[in-house]
Amino acid sequence: MKTLRKLILGETWILPLGITAVVLVTALVVKPLMGDAWEQAGGFVLLAGACAVLLLSTR
Amino acid sequence: MTFVLVALGAGVAVAVELVEALAIVLAVAVSRRWSDALIGATGAVIACAVLAVVLGPVLLESVPLDTLRVVIGFLLLLFGLEWLRKGTLRLAGRRARSSSVAEFAETQEELEDVPLPPPGQADWPGRIVAFKGVLLEGVEVVIIVAALASRPSGPAPALLGAGLACVAVVGAGAWVRKPLARVPETELKWGVGVLLSSFGVFFLAEGLHVEWPGSDAAVLYIVAALAAVSQLQIHRLARA
């Protein structure tokens, strides 16, 4: 079970929690706030979030 | 362009996972018996094939397109960032480099104290170690390839990359019959991490109705951005 958890979630909880937080905040908060600009710029918000999670997990 | 990048991502991901599985099977074969190592490995390959047959159609047929993109993106980002995190720490000297040779030695050590049954009797410890090693690496391969193959534009590039990687690694293993010591695993895994994470961000955004400037070519600047952030972090950690 421990091996399976490690396989799916990895070695640290920062990644699954961080990615989930980025997706939820982006989809539920940032997207409605950005309005029409979302279509063109929303991807860069997600990219910035992924970079932030990477930096946080490698401190 | 996306075809090549997906094939490359799937191919390299499958290759590095297979090298690790190969190291375990070879360790069992060399220190125990070839027949038992192959029986264990074959059992795991069958289990992975069953998982692939179930997972692929379920993803493709039962999930709406946008939801599918979000699920694929999330999975790829989860796997990709894990590989990228480890690669960043390894290249910065913060953890040991990835090595199938070390895995080979660990597996041999694991079986060292277990007596080998006489010829004609099944070597269950050897079979189980080979089965477990191939299964764990194989499940990761199945999830990555199934996610990349479930793209709306079709499974061809992911399956092509995975197929070529299988032929290359199994062929190399049969030829050298020892772990592939010269493969720069750490750098390859870092590269796979960048590619998988990039596809993750790309699909996730598409699932949330983003239209990337440059369409499919956006994958290129996402790759560049993630690689640059990781390299900056590697230099920062290495200096600290």
Structural contact between residues B225 and A51, judged by C-beta atoms closer than 8 angstroms: yes
Interface residue of A2, A31, A47, A55 to substitute, partner B, most B CBs within 10 Å: A47
Residue B192 clears pLDDT 60, i.e. is over it: yes
Pull the structure tokens for residue A40.
Answer: 């063109």
Residue B160 burial class via C-beta count within 10 angstroms: exposed 0-12, middle 13-18, buried 19 and up = middle
Structural contact between residues B126 and B16, judged by C-beta atoms closer than 8 angstroms: no
Out of A10, A23, A39, the one facing B210 most closely (by C-beta) is A39
Pull the structure tokens for residue B125.
Answer: 């410890």
Ranges A16-30, B164-178, B216-230: which has the least confidence: B164-178
Rounded to an integer, what distance in angstroms lies between the CA atom of residue B165 and that of residue B206?
28
Rounded to an integer, what distance in angstroms lies between the CA atom of residue A54 and that of residue B158?
25
CB-defined contacts A:B, below 8 A: 85
Average pLDDT over chain B reads 83
Angle at B198 between CA B196 and CA B201, to 5 degrees: 110
Where helices occur in chain B by DSSP H, the ranges are 2-31, 34-62, 65-91, 100-112, 124-149, 156-176, 185-207, 218-239
CB contact under 8 A, B81 and A40: no
DSSP 8-state secondary structure symbol assigned to residue A29 = I
Structural contact between residues B141 and B18, judged by C-beta atoms closer than 8 angstroms: yes
Task: Give the model's confidence band at B161: pLDDT under 50 very low, under 70 low, under 90 confident, else very high.
Answer: confident
Over residues B35-82, the pLDDT tens digits come to 898 999 999 999 988 888 887 677 667 777 788 788 888 988 998 899
Structural contact between residues A14 and B76, judged by C-beta atoms closer than 8 angstroms: no
Give which of B156, B154, B176, B174 is closest to B164, Cα–Cα.
Answer: B156
pLDDT for res B44: 92
The answer as to whether A28 is a domain residue is yes
Residue B177 clears pLDDT 70, i.e. is over it: no
The answer as to whether A27 is a domain residue is yes
The answer as to whether A18 is a domain residue is yes
pLDDT for res A52: 96
Residue B230 clears pLDDT 90, i.e. is over it: yes
Distance from CA of B87 to the nearest CA of A (A): 10
Residue B176 clears pLDDT 60, i.e. is over it: yes
Structural contact between residues B99 and B24, judged by C-beta atoms closer than 8 angstroms: no
Residue ranges for chain A with pLDDT beneath 50: none
What average pLDDT score do residues B156-165 get? 86
Q: Looking at the complex, does the CB of residue B211 fall below 8 Å from at least one CB of chain A?
A: yes
Q: Which residues contact A41 (CB under 8 A, 6 or more apart)?
A: A34
Residue B1 clears pLDDT 80, i.e. is over it: no
pLDDT for res A7: 58
Residue type, B205: A
Contacts of B136 in chain A (CB under 8 A): 3, 7
Give which of A16, A15, A13, A43 is closest to A27, Cα–Cα.
Answer: A43
The answer as to whether A2 is a domain residue is no
Residue B185 clears pLDDT 80, i.e. is over it: no
The answer as to whether A7 is a domain residue is no
Please state, for a pLDDT cut of 70, what percent of chain B lies above it.
Answer: 91
The answer as to whether A3 is a domain residue is no
Residue B154 clears pLDDT 80, i.e. is over it: no
Residue B227 clears pLDDT 60, i.e. is over it: yes
Pull the structure tokens for residue B97.
Answer: 């480099």
pLDDT for res B182: 61
Residue type, A59: R
pLDDT for res B145: 83
Rounded to an integer, what distance in angstroms lies between the CA atom of residue B174 and that of residue B170?
6
Distance from CA of A4 to the nearest CA of B (A): 8
Compute the CA torsion angle B104, B109, B114, B120 (nearest 10 deg).
20
pLDDT for res A3: 58
Residue type, B163: G
Over residues B86-125, the pLDDT tens digits come to 999 999 998 887 666 777 777 777 777 778 888 888 888 8
Pull the structure tokens for residue B63.
Answer: 């999930």
Handedness of CA B107, B112, B117, B120 (dihedral sign): positive
Total domains present in chain A? 1
Range of the domain at A51: 12-57
Give which of B180, B178, B220 is closest to B202, Cα–Cα.
Answer: B220
Residue B178 clears pLDDT 80, i.e. is over it: no
pLDDT for res B153: 66
